């Protein structure tokens, strides 16, 4: 999983809040994209392959 760290020395407290909001939004998009990619890969596996790793189609 990717981690994004944003740090800034803002002269105003509001600017720091904006950076925190953007950082949170970027992290949410990255997490969503990783989950989407994981589901795509799992969907491409056969039932036998899913059984080998202890999953079934209903698990995801």
Q: What is the pLDDT of residue 12?
A: 62
- C-alpha distances out from residue 37 to 2, 26, 28, 29, 45, Å: 13, 17, 14, 12, 13
* pTM score, whole prediction: 0.63
d(CA 60, CA 57): 6
pLDDT at 42: 96
Residue 36 CA to chain centroid, in angstroms? 8
DSSP state of 11: S
Query: Per-10-residue mean pLDDT for the chain, 60 residues long?
Result: 61 77 96 97 96 94
* pLDDT for the residue numbered 50: 96
Residue 2: its pLDDT value, please?
A: 63
Taking the domains of the chain in order of start, what are their residue ranges? 14-59
Residues in the chain: 60
């Amino acid at each position: 999983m990717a981690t994004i760290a944003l740090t800034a020395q803002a002269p105003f407290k509001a600017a720091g809040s904006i950076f925190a909001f953007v950082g949170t939004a970027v992290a949410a998009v990255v997490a969503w994209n990783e989950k989407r990619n994981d589901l795509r890969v799992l969907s491409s596996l056969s039932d036998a392959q899913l059984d080998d790793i202890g999953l079934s189609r209903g698990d995801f």
